[in-house]
Amino acid sequence: MNERLRKLQQYPMVALEQTKRALLARGLRVFDFGTGDPIEPTATVIRDAMQRGTTAVSQYPSVHGQPELRRAAAGYMQRRFGVVVDPDTEILPTMGSKEALFHLPMVLVQVPSEHDLVLYGEPAYPVFEIGALFAEAWTYSVPLNAQNRYLMDPDMVPAATLKRAAVVFLNYPHNPTGQCLPDSLFRAWVAARDEYGFTLVNDECYADIYYEEPRPRCVLEFGRQGCLAVHSLSKRSGMTGYRSGFIAGDQELLAHYRRFRASMGNAPQDFVQAASTVAWSDSEHAEVRRKLFAEKRRVLKEHFGKLGLAVYPSTASLFLWVEVPKNMTDVAYAARCAEAGIVVAGGSCFGKGQENFFRIALVPSLEDCIAATKVWPH
């Protein structure tokens, strides 16, 4: 058995689901702020497109995906970021963002070699580390904290480590803190990529969930060679169960990934691709969702202020990053919340040194967010 995998803690979202089931078994009313899986209905226009996309005969989808989907994704990139990409060579549909992030180290890292390292910031989405370990790559986590504003900077990494890196994962807007990377640091990372030759990947799945201007940027606005942007319809369009996203960027890297992707999976099912084509072509439903998330965010931030719990300042994402009460750990506070039927994710789910925080996902309905404030423990 892979000993490096054995040392990993249980995948955090599985543990949160177990907590939720235990609370339901006790007959409690549960307010689930743990896993980022919003309950708002998927827009009717998207569901209708999925139904129209069903056929009498079900066949394997291609690796490339449908041309209409690739063109819709390319259109989104141009409208949203001003980035022009070739839908045939610089867009590759995926089954959401998670599987793509998991796959990339397997196809981009040679072990052993002089470039056998995957680098990411911590706290982090766990898949960055997990994908690297499955690829037998070595990992380097850049400590992110309130002092450096959770902003990953190449100057924080030794030159020898950057030289050894095969893949650098950025994640902005950031999960779990909601930070956005400033233009100066995007430029700095692209310059470091040009100097050291690693692949620079930004997980941009929360790019359309923002609450202030300027809007989150795309890494491809700053560079194309050796750069990849990963996008998802899960949160933007309420399609977590559909599993649909895409990678855009360097056509040589995408051709390399596409060559091996048939061994790992395909594009989404054809009917999901039909729905995705509509979703990427429409911004109105995403705006409606963003306004609803903003209202839930306002309610919870106001309540935490009344409780004396400091919310770390942020401008984007589906999450709030909140300090636990003094003299408590994240685990102890999550347990206290659970006794009231409230599921939250402790900061340590996302990396070492995060025990003073917990993460709130803006998942329950607005009505349930308000109801949760009535029973939230002091």
Q: What pLDDT is stored for residue 1 in this prediction?
A: 67
What's CA 132's distance to the chain center, in Å?
Answer: 16
Task: Give the span between the Cα atoms of 352 and 197, in whole angstroms.
Answer: 28
Q: Which residue has the tokens 């003073």?
A: 356
Give the tokens for residue 97: 């963002």
Give the tokens for residue 342: 């409230």
Q: What pLDDT is stored for residue 378 in this prediction?
A: 79
Could you tell me what percentage of the chain is helix, strand and coil, using 3-state DSSP and rounding each to the nearest 5?
A: 40, 15, 45
Q: Which residue has the tokens 């084509």?
A: 277
Show the low-confidence residues of the chain (pLDDT under 70). Answer: 1
As a residue count, the chain comes to 378
* Predicted structure pTM score: 0.95
CA separation (Å) from 77 to 191, 218, 239, 329? 22, 9, 19, 41
Give the tokens for residue 33: 């702020």
Q: Which residue has the tokens 């899960």?
A: 234
Bridge-partner residues for 207, per DSSP? none
CA atoms within 13 A on the CB side of 364: 21
- What domains, with CATH codes, occur in the chain? 3-32+285-375 (3.90.1150.10), 44-282 (3.40.640.10)
8 A C-beta contact, residue 349 and residue 12: yes
Burial class (CB in 10 A: 0-12, 13-18, 19+), 5: exposed
- Long-range contacts of range 40-44, CB-CB < 8 Å, 24 or more positions apart? 40/238, 40/289, 40/292, 40/365, 41/238, 42/237, 42/238, 42/239, 42/242, 43/237, 43/238, 43/279, 43/282, 43/285, 43/288
Task: Give the span between the Cα atoms of 356 and 328, in whole angstroms.
Answer: 8
Give the tokens for residue 277: 């084509």
Q: What pLDDT is stored for residue 265 in this prediction?
A: 81
